[in-house]
Structures are given as structure tokens and as C-alpha cells.
Amino acid sequence: MTATTIVTGSKLRLNSYLNDNNILGFAVKNYRDRFLIPSNQNLFGGIIIEYVLIDSGSNSSLFPLPVTPEKTFDIHQLIKNFPYHQYTWSISTAHGIGLIPVTTLHIKPIEDADSSLATIKCNLHYDIKALEFNLPYLRFSLNKESVKILTETNEIKFSETDKEVLQNTLQFLNEFERKFPLMINKKKREYCLLGQHFLKTVCSIQLNDTMLFIDKDKLREKLVPQPNSSLNEMANYLYYQRPVFSKTEQFLNCEDDEHGGRDLFNISQQQVDVIG
């Protein structure tokens, strides 16, 4: 029996279990106490994202940018999936818990008489069982490289205000890197933080090391859990029957930068704290 057969059998078994128990999907906790979707096949408006963390404390969500095989920002993939005549592109900045302001790219469908076109179609773990939902917009995290590319592109018709924000951000990052080179984290974001504008579309139940996503109507109709079963048993079963993740080590240790830890900055022993 090959490894491929084992993984395929695990996914088929999970698909049957989820369907039989009226479960839309699930996330499991890793070694960093983060709930992750147990699949690298997650689709957001045509963009595949390997690592998706559930962030119940966030009103919105934050996505990584698509990258080329050379690990550079793939702006052409964004343009292909979100053409400017169908989507609005805008730039926003906010101050998070770090010293450097957070700059983001918002992509939102242009409102149309057809309401189905006013949202972005998404799927979680579609290789196991597609959990389908719609988001009103996507918000991508920008680093210095992507800000520079967006500043130089002529393919996107940013407003004058957005162009100014991009230019000011790039100038700030260049100056910050010049003065504090040891505090710059050049690691690219590889994961999505999926917040409340996803969670409000489902009933989410956290039990032990598993988070269950259940159709609200099925729960109201008492179709979950099934007779002779319990939510606790379902959660434990899904945790231990999850498929072999494609990058297991990174999955087990994946942690979101926004909630502290050394990932915020590249702090070395040579960096001296400044007090006063």
C-alpha cells in the first residue's frame, strides 16, 4: 500500500464521516495552540492558500499574497483572478501591536444588480469536503517588496490617495530599514487568518483540540449530533482521523505573527532595547 493510497483513503473516510454527521468542516489545533484547517487545498476567489488559521478574535481576515515559483509577489495572478473592471482595489494602513504600520490591499467586487457577483466565492479543505462560503472582500498583507511592485505598476488604476499611501509607505519602510536593519522581518506571510466574517456564516463549536463547523439549520433541527453519538466523540474522531498534512512540521508549528512572539521582528542578540 502506497502513501498516496493511505492519504486518499483517509480523505474519503473523512468525507463520508462529515457528510453522515452533517458537519460542514473542521479545524484542528497544532503544537502552537492555533486552530488550522487540516488541508493545503483552500481556495479564495481562485487563489490557493495552504495554511489557514482560524482567528475568532478578529472582525476581518488577513491573507497572504500569491507568489511565483521564485517566491516573489505574483501580481499577475491577482490581476487575473480579480480584474480591475470587476473589482475595486484599494490600500489601507493601520497600527497593530508592532512598531511598523500594517499596510493592506483590499479587493472587493464592484457592486452589481446581480448580488451573486458582489461577493467572493471561497472553499476550505476542498480535497476532503468543500466548505463553501462567500466573503464580501479579501484583505492582503503587504510587505516592502509588494508595496514597491504596486507602486510601480500601471495595470491597476489606484486612486490618487492610494498611490500616495503606497509611496509614503515605501518611503517609511526604506527609512526604517536604513535606521533599524536588525528589526526588519523579511519572512513572507504564508498563512491566512480567517476571522469573524467567515465564522458568522457557520455555527462553530470548539471541543478539546477540534473546532467543528456545523450548519445552523441542522443544529436547530437536532440533526447534529446523530443518535448514539456526541459532539465530544465527533471532535475527537476528526482530530485523530485528519489526513496527513503535506508539510506536517510547518503545520504543527504554524503561528500567527499578529499575536506576539519572535516572528514580529527579527530580533537578534545584537539588538539592544531602548528604554526611556
**Average pLDDT over every residue of 251-264:** 62
Q: What are the tens digits of pLDDT across the range 141-158?
A: 999 999 999 999 988 989
Most confident residue range from 15-24, 114-123, 188-197: 15-24
- Classify each residue of 196-209 as buried b or exposed e, where b means 16 or more C-beta atoms within 10 Å of its C-beta: ebbbebbbbbebeb
Cβ-based neighbours of 100, under 8 Å, separated by 6 or more = 173, 176
Is residue 276 over pLDDT 70? Answer: no
At residue 1, the pLDDT reads 38
Which residue in the block uniquely carries the three cell numbers 536588525?
A: 182
Average pLDDT over residues 20-26: 95
Confidence (pLDDT) at 263: 35
Distances, alpha carbon 98 to alpha carbons 137, 157, 183, 264, in Å:
25, 30, 11, 7
| Alpha-carbon dihedral angle through residues 135, 218, 10, 56, given to the nearest 10 degrees | 40
Whether 5 has a pLDDT exceeding 50, the answer reads no
- Looking at the predicted structure, is the pLDDT value of residue 100 above 80? no
Closest CA to 146 of 175, 178, 170: 170
- What 3-state class would DSSP assign to 196? helix
Query: 191-194 and 51-54 as β-strands: parallel, antiparallel, unpaired?
Result: parallel
pLDDT of residue 274: 32
Average pLDDT over residues 92-110: 80
Task: Report d(CA 187, CA 265) in Å as an integer.
Answer: 10
pLDDT at 8: 65
pLDDT tens-digit readout, 83-94: 988 999 999 987
Least trusted range by pLDDT, from 35-49, 110-124, 162-176: 110-124
Higher-confidence position of 182 and 16:
16
pLDDT tier for residue 189 given thresholds of 50, 70 and 90: confident
108/242 Cα distance (integer angstroms): 33
Instruction: Report percent pLDDT > 70 for the chain.
Output: 84
pLDDT bin (cut points 50, 70, 90) of residue 258 is low
Strand partners, 82: none
User: Could you tell me the three cell numbers for 168?
Assistant: 509614503
Average pLDDT on 55-73 reads 91
Residue 52's alpha-carbon distances to 133, 155, 196, 232, 238, in angstroms, are 15, 29, 14, 23, 17
pLDDT score for 242: 86
Q: Is the pLDDT of residue 184 over 70?
A: no
pTM assigned to the model: 0.84
Indicate the pLDDT class of residue 209, thresholds 50, 70 and 90: very high
**Residue-wise pLDDT tens digits, 110-137:** 876 455 568 999 999 999 999 999 999 9
Among 146, 119, 154, 148, which residue's Cα sits nearest to residue 133? 119
Q: What does pLDDT average to over the chain?
A: 84
